[in-house]
Structures are given as structure tokens and as C-alpha cells.
Amino acid sequence: MSAKDWPPRWPDVNDPAVLDAMAAVPRHLFVPPQYRDQAYEDIPLPIGHGQTISQPYIVALMTQALSLRPDSRVLEIGTGSGYQSAILAHITPTVRSVETIAELAEAARERLQGLGYGVCVRAGDGRLGWPEHAPYDGIIVTAASPDVPPALAAQLAEGGRLVIPVGEGSWDQMLWLIRRDGDRLQKQFLADVRFVPLVASASPHEPEDTALTQIRKELQSLFSRR
Ligand code: SAH
């Protein structure tokens, strides 16, 4: 496949804003030079440090699930190459992204800036979110977590959406959409997926406040139901 037949037709991706973003963002500029000739194939590719740029179909599916509008405030966890950040930034100007590997964060920040995308990138443990700028209308996690980090659910705005792969191993991960509806959370299964793990790097911090404890309980009950 070449850039001119891009993006492919995915049966379940039909949001025009998402398809426009996929058509506009030059994926070959987000992969290492030796993989450029594969940039317009619908596959994940290595980006160094044992990490990968996600499969374009999954990027499109996750972005569509966020139901973004041009004024949505978005937080991404797992900046990696910055490709997903650029797709988001094509739809809304308010995008922040947290990456745990400092070198990847720095490289993505420069790449995004060079391409004119105003994404704020921070190095740190994304399991804690980015509370200073919360709440977010959309939070997208691009690495798989054994559970939903409560801080992320807590940083959702009313009606906000969190898209996150949940699972321990490589083979039993499920992509979920979680919606905040008042004090309640709802979940919807999106797809079986395979992501690199969301690593725990921050040391345990202050004791949880009651709001976070409440959300942790809500998440536990949400995922104990089928
Ligand atoms: N969205 C990226 C895909 C990156 S792969 C892209 O479009 O290229 C997942 C990324 O999550 C990796 O770069 C990995 O270093 C990062 N990551 C893993 N655990 C993390 C954590 N706790 N906080 C922030 N980033 C994390």
C-alpha cells in the first residue's frame, strides 16, 4: 500500500474527522528510517526502546471511540513516536501526552513541534494522569494495563471517555471504552488487542483521597460484572 491509497477502508471506522486525520498525518515521519517503506501498511512497527507504533487500524478505532469534537480536551498515555498524538491534534488543538521513557518523550516532542502539532508532551508515569490540567473529555491509553488506573478515571470530565487496553499478558488484552456518567462509570468492549505493557514507574505516593477510593471501588465493581 502506498500513501496515496491511504487510509485503507476499515468496515468499522467511518467518522470523517478520524479518516481525515489518518489521511493527513504522514506516518512515515514517525517510524525509524529503516521501516519507512512499511509505514503505509496496516501493521505495528518498532520505534526503539522495545516499544512500537500501533497498528493504524487500532489508532483509528481508538480515536473514533473517543468521539472527539474540535473543542475536546484530550490526554494520551504512552506518547511513543507521537503518531497517535498527531492524529488527536488533527482533530482538536488541546492534546497532552505522557511518556515514561524520557528519550522517546523528547524525540516525540521535537518531531511534533517540527510538524506544527501543538501537543504538550511530558515525561512521567502516565498511570497518574496529568492532574494539573484535568478534567479531560477524552483519555487514551496506548499501553496495556492489568487494571484501569483510578487516577485516569478520576480525571474524566462529565460525559468523558477513556479508551484503554486492559489485560496482563500479551494475548488476553481487551480494549475497553469507559464513560463517565455522573458518579457512575460504564464500560463497552471494543476489540481484542495486543499492546506493550503500561509500566509502573512512579513510587506509591500520598494516601488516596476519598474520591479516588470511591472510583477504585466503582472500577472494581464495573470489571467484576460481565
Ligand atoms: N501512542 C504511541 C504508541 C506507543 S507504544 C504511538 O503512536 O507511537 C506505548 C508507549 O507507552 C511506549 O512508548 C511506552 O514507553 C509507553 N509507556 C509504558 N508505560 C507507561 C507509563 N506508565 N506512562 C507513560 N507511558 C508509558
Digitized pLDDT (tens) for each residue of the chain, 226 residues in all: 666 789 999 999 999 999 999 999 999 999 999 999 999 999 999 999 999 999 999 999 999 999 999 999 999 999 999 999 999 999 999 999 999 999 999 999 999 999 999 999 999 999 999 999 999 999 999 999 999 999 999 999 999 999 999 998 878 899 999 999 998 999 999 999 999 999 998 766 667 788 899 999 999 999 997 6
Q: Against a cut of 0.85, is the pTM above it?
A: yes
pLDDT at 2: 65
Rg of the chain's alpha carbons, rounded to an integer?
17
Cα(80) to centroid of ligand 1, in Å?
5
DSSP 55: P
| Whole-number pLDDT of residue 1 | 61
Minimum CA distance residue for ligand 1 atom 18: 198
- The rounded Å distance from CA 30 to ligand 1 centre is 14
Mutate to test the pocket of ligand 1, among 85, 90, 98, 101 (most ligand atoms within 8 A of CB): 101
pLDDT of residue 27: 98
pLDDT of residue 178: 98
Scan for cell 523528547, then name that residue: 106
Say which of 2, 54, 203, 224 is annotated catalytic. 54
For ligand 1, atom 10, the nearest C-alpha belongs to: 78
What's at 122, amino acid-wise? R
The pLDDT, as a whole number, for residue 204 is 63
Which among 122, 74, 127, 65 is positioned nearest to 98, based on CA atoms? 122
In the chain, the domains with their CATH numbers are 57-199+207-224 (3.40.50.150)
Residue nearest to atom 11 of ligand 1 (CA): 78
Q: What is the 3-state secondary structure (H, E, C) of 72-92?
A: CEEEEECCCCCHHHHHHHHHC
Instruction: List the beta bridge partners of residue 161.
Output: 138, 179
Q: How far is CA 121 from CA 76, 81, 96, 100, in A?
A: 9, 11, 6, 11
- Catalytic status, residue 54: yes
Give me the pLDDT at residue 226, please.
Answer: 60
